[in-house]
């Protein structure tokens, strides 16, 4: 297989599985737990590696999953004492476990092919060159198998427990009352996160995996309003980020993991600015439109209660507005036919009076005028 194709496929599988489980972390406001798990699984990987004496994948995945669940358990334990808040508990537990992992890796595993650098930063560029061989049959790139199997596990579990994930994320109290254990579902989700994170180490490494877990779902959250579309869009955005990231890395001859994480950031910022529902641009335009319609109404109100026409300059002075602002308001009103006369003598028309009535605005009391 073409190495580029392998890298893109592995990157896409990793991004898709991260986005799928990461979406629930985002919705449960547990984004940092993903970061914690991605680091704290290191000792699990090293112990599994030492125990089984090989770099075969599945013992490591299981070792990591076990440490991931242990991490979550320890954090819960600390939080439940109420003397340590949850963010501090995360800060206490994961560096501790990670440090144990670093020591174990350097002390026992450095000389036998488990490279901490590789775990931290990932080395997806090497993915095409290690094949999976079972009973002497070469089945193709190992990383591709691993990431595809993990994606399949995530898909199956999320599809099977979609309703449970949804309910326990939205309303854990109701879930408990209905007989669904939020704690059990929480641990299932955390096991999935752990497995997914280990699977993605080869692609992006422990440091950047959190970008793949959190940023594509956070992007999708800005764009859609329902859970199922959000999951689908998270996965699609994750895959697009992975491919775009490879392009960036290829173009600048830089780290692929770095490229992919950068791509998630770029796509997020675009969505943040341009989202049709919640984007900055939309907010800005909405505010501006609202302000302009208020401005026009205020001018109309003042004209309405005058028997004599008013000049543009007089109005601007009265309101303390810039010339641009008063001109905008007058232009809007002229277009609607709500005022007539030139800038020196503006007068409200019958159209303008009706518009004011329709808006339901009470006329300003005369004593309130300066």
Partner 1 sequence: MPGEPPRTDAPAIEVHDLTVAYRTKPVLWDIDVALPEGRLIAIVGPNGAGKSTLLKAILGLVPAVTGWVKVFGEPYEKRRSWVGYVPQRESVDWDFPTTALDVVTMGLYGRLGWFRRPNATHRDLARAALDQVGVADLADRQISQLSGGQQQRVFLARALAQDARLYLMDEPFAGIDVTTERAVLGLLQGLRDRGRTVVAVHHDLQTVADYFDHVVLLNMHLVDSGPVETTFTKDNLTRTYGGRLTALSNAAEALLERRPSRPKG
Residue 20 vs 301, nearer CB to partner 1:
20
Q: Which helix (H) or strand (E) holds 347?
A: strand 347-348
- The residues near 314 (Cβ < 8 Å, ≥ 6 apart) are none
Minimum gap (Å) between residue 220 Cβ and partner 1 = 9
Residue 229 vs 337, nearer CB to partner 1:
229
Closest CA to 34 of 24, 44, 42, 43: 24
Minimum gap (Å) between residue 32 Cβ and partner 1 = 17
Minimum gap (Å) between residue 268 Cβ and partner 1 = 17
Q: Which helix (H) or strand (E) holds 141?
A: strand 137-141
Cα separation of 128 and 294, whole Å? 62
Residue 27 vs 198, nearer CB to partner 1:
27
Residue 137 vs 173, nearer CB to partner 1:
173
Cα separation of 85 and 72, whole Å? 14
Minimum gap (Å) between residue 186 Cβ and partner 1 = 15
Minimum gap (Å) between residue 180 Cβ and partner 1 = 7
Cα separation of 295 and 332, whole Å? 10
Residue 21 vs 46, nearer CB to partner 1:
21
Chain contacts with partner 1 (rule: CB under 8 A)? 27, 29, 82, 160-164, 166-167, 169-171, 173-180, 221, 224-227, 229-230
Structure tokens at 34: 């993903």
Phi/psi at 359 (5° precision): -75, -10
Residue 110 vs 174, nearer CB to partner 1:
174
Minimum gap (Å) between residue 236 Cβ and partner 1 = 16
Cβ neighbours, 10 Å, residue 54: 12
Residue 228 vs 290, nearer CB to partner 1:
228
* Cα→Cα distances 72→60, 117, 168, 249, 343, Å: 18, 25, 17, 34, 69
Q: Which helix (H) or strand (E) holds 348?
A: strand 347-348
Minimum gap (Å) between residue 79 Cβ and partner 1 = 13
Cα separation of 55 and 63, whole Å? 12
């Amino acid at each position: 297989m073409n190495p580029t194709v392998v890298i893109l496929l592995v990157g896409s599988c990793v991004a898709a599985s991260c986005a799928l489980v990461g979406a629930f972390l985002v919705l449960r406001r547990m984004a940092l737990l993903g970061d914690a798990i991605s680091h704290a699984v290191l000792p699990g990987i090293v112990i599994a590696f030492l125990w089984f004496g090989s770099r075969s994948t599945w013992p490591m995945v299981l070792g990591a999953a076990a440490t991931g669940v242990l991490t979550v358990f320890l954090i819960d334990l600390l939080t439940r004492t109420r003397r340590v808040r949850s963010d501090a508990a995360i800060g206490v537990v994961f560096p501790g476990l990670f440090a144990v992992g670093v020591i174990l890796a350097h002390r026992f595993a450095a000389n036998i092919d488990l490279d901490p650098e590789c775990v931290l930063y990932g080395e997806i560029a090497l993915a095409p060159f290690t094949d999976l061989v079972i009973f002497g049959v070469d089945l193709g790139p190992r990383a591709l198998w691993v990431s595809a199997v993990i994606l399949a596990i995530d898909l199956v579990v999320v599809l099977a427990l979609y309703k449970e994930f949804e309910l326990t994320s939205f309303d854990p109290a109701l879930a408990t009352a209905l007989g669904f254990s939020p704690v059990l579902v929480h641990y299932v989700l955390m096991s999935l996160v752990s497995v997914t994170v280990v699977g993605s180490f080869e692609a992006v490494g422990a440091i950047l995996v959190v970008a793949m877990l959190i940023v594509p779902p956070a992007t999708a959250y800005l764009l859609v309003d329902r859970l199922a579309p959000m999951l689908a869009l998270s996965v699609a955005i994750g895959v697009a980020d992975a491919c775009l990231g490879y392009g960036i890395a290829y173009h600048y001859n830089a780290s692929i993991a770095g490229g992919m994480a950068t791509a998630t950031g770029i796509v997020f910022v675009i969505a943040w600015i341009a989202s049709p529902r919640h984007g900055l641009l939309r907010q800005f335009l909405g505010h501006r439109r609202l302000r302009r319609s208020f401005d026009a109404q205020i001018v109309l109100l003042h004209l309405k209660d005058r028997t004599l026409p008013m000049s543009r300059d007089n109005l601007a002075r009265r309101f303390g507005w810039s010339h641009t602002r008063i001109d905008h308001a007058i232009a809007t009103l002229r277009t609607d036919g709500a005022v007539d006369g030139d800038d020196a003598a503006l007068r409200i028309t019958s159209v303008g009076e009706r518009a004011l009535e329709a808006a339901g605005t009470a006329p300003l009391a005369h004593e309130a005028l300066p």
